[in-house]
Structure 1
Amino acid sequence: MSKPRILLVEDERGLVQTLTWFLNKEGFEVAAATEGPEGLRKAMSLLPDLILLDLMLPGVGGLEILKELRAGEKTKAIPVIVLTAKAEETDQVVGFSLGADDYVTKPFSNKVLLQRIKALLRRSENVGEAAENLSHLGLEIDRVRHKVSFQGKLLELTPTEFRLLECLLRQPGRAFSRHQLMDAAIGEGSIVLERTIDVHIKTLRRKLVEVGAEGEWIETVRGVGYRFSEGVKVV
């Protein structure tokens, strides 16, 4: 079995050396880039299993790289963990809204980062291995091809948005807390910001409307979180 490949985009060369050594020891193959454009080129050519992306990069910043990754047909489904010294809640919300799957603030423990990496890779594998599709109210989730459509129109979702919508659609009518939704979309033990989930829900509602579906199918449950409308299932 081939080793999972990680692309590390980070300008701190000392951290690059340390993480490369640590992740190699843990059974990963690591490629590295110290500038944004180089990282984007390697992401498109190598198509790694996961990307570790620093926000504060020289030249082209990490957020711009993240937008480019999510816009690329071949790179939009690659899990991305953002590495940054910026710990403000607003910075995290911006990162998640642009398609980050997880967010780790420097300085961090290598063991904690390893847990985050393994959690995201497990979720990606589970999506790839699942054979069944989900269908509800005209929405179709193809878990093998990692695609969501409504009446033939494709929704362009980030990996986190895909897993979030899948969680809601699996049990229509069930109310999920924000913590439960974040665990389902990213993994247990992730730092959950209520505003982060709200950003994802807002984006999902907008994308549903863009393809002719109803954004309000994702219902707010006061004091709890969110649920997907039970409605009348389409046969």
Structure 2
Amino acid sequence: MSGNKKILVVDDEEDILDLLRYNLEKEGYQVKVAEDGIKGVEIAKTFVPDLILLDIMMPGQDGVETCRQMRELSELSGTFIIFLTARVEEYSEVAAFENGADDYLTKPIKPRALMSRINAIFRRSKKEIDTEEKINVGDLMIDKQGFIVRKNETEFNFPKKEFELLYFLAKHPGKVFSREDLLHNIWGSDVYVLTRTVDVHIRKVREKIGDGYISTIKGVGYKFELD
């Protein structure tokens, strides 16, 4: 499963960096580590990891800001970001997903459980890769293979989950999906996130492409408009 997959670990605790590096390399992953968010962003630019394990509580620049900066890098548009944190407050989880996180795990870290989660993410990602397929709706073009969203002549940089959410809805125009349906199809059954995470991602998609494509069905969920 690991193949040539690359993982970046960003945490200010040396013991955690050593623990995760050891377990990840034992699984066959290529691993780099950074002890703070600023260095994490710099390493990510050149290493271009498939997955980033990112601590929230770090001195200088916290994980939420680090995640936000990473999501602005086009080369990381397909990178998974998992937060590792001792904080369990709901607002911390919401802030994490608002800034582009794909998953959220609390400390203390259990290496076996973490490896299982990472392997599951990569399995699901491989399964989701399909043939070259573009969706054109009016002035909007969504290219699954190129990970591109373009409206008229403007091209948008979408974080992975926002892109997958838009693409999934656009593949099923006119069909209403509940928040639970979208969580299951986009995040998977092995990732535990709040249903309001869907609302956050829908809002961010609308901020980029406008409000006319995805409708809110009050009390039910969302659907992609046919025209």
The two structures have a TM-score, normalised by structure 2, of 0.90
On the 8 A contact 1:97/1:199 being kept in 2, the answer is yes
Q: Distance in 2 between matches of 1:87 and 1:137?
A: 43
Deviations 1:105-131, CA, capped at 9 Å, x for gaps: 222433332233234334544566531
Read off the aligned partner of 1:201 and give its amino acid letter. Answer: I
Read off the aligned partner of 2:174 and give its amino acid letter. Answer: G
Q: Distance in 1 between matches of 2:110 and 2:198?
A: 25
- Name the counterpart of 2:97: 96
- Name the counterpart of 2:218: 222
Q: Distance in 2 between matches of 1:18 and 1:225?
A: 41
Deviation at residue 223 of structure 1 after TM alignment: 2.8
Deviations 1:1-60, CA, capped at 9 Å, x for gaps: 952110000112222222222222222121111122221121112111111111111222
Structure 2: runs of 5+ lacking an equivalent = none
Read off the aligned partner of 2:216 and give its amino acid letter. Answer: T
Deviations 1:193-235, CA, capped at 9 Å, x for gaps: 12211111111112112xxxxx14211223322111123xxxx
Residues 1-235 of structure 1 aligned to structure 2 (within 5 Å)? 2-125=3-126, 130-209=131-210, 215-231=211-227
Aligned length: 226
The two structures have a TM-score, normalised by structure 1, of 0.87
Q: Distance in 2 between matches of 1:56 and 1:47?
A: 23
Q: Distance in 2 between matches of 1:92 and 1:76?
A: 21
On the 8 A contact 1:127/1:143 being kept in 2, the answer is no
Q: Distance in 2 between matches of 1:163 and 1:144?
A: 12
Read off the aligned partner of 2:11 and give its amino acid letter. Answer: E
Read off the aligned partner of 2:186 and give its amino acid letter. Answer: A
Q: Helix, strand or coil: the match of 1:74?
A: helix
Q: Distance in 1 between matches of 2:166 and 2:49?
A: 24
Q: What RMSD in Å do the two structures reach over aligned CA positions?
A: 2.0
Q: Distance in 2 between matches of 1:173 and 1:111?
A: 42
Deviates more, 1:12-21 or 1:95-104: 12-21
On the 8 A contact 1:10/1:57 being kept in 2, the answer is yes
On the 8 A contact 1:161/1:185 being kept in 2, the answer is no
Q: Distance in 1 between matches of 2:110 and 2:176?
A: 34
Deviates more, 1:88-97 or 1:70-79: 70-79
On the 8 A contact 2:142/2:148 being kept in 1, the answer is yes
Read off the aligned partner of 1:116 and give its amino acid letter. Answer: R
Q: Distance in 1 between matches of 2:40 and 2:50?
A: 14
Q: Distance in 1 between matches of 2:169 and 2:130?
A: 20
On the 8 A contact 1:120/1:186 being kept in 2, the answer is no
On the 8 A contact 1:163/1:184 being kept in 2, the answer is no
Deviations 1:164-189, CA, capped at 9 Å, x for gaps: 10110110111112122123322222
On the 8 A contact 2:142/2:167 being kept in 1, the answer is yes
On the 8 A contact 1:4/1:29 being kept in 2, the answer is yes
Structure 1: runs of 5+ lacking an equivalent = 210-214
On the 8 A contact 2:103/2:193 being kept in 1, the answer is no
On the 8 A contact 2:11/2:36 being kept in 1, the answer is yes
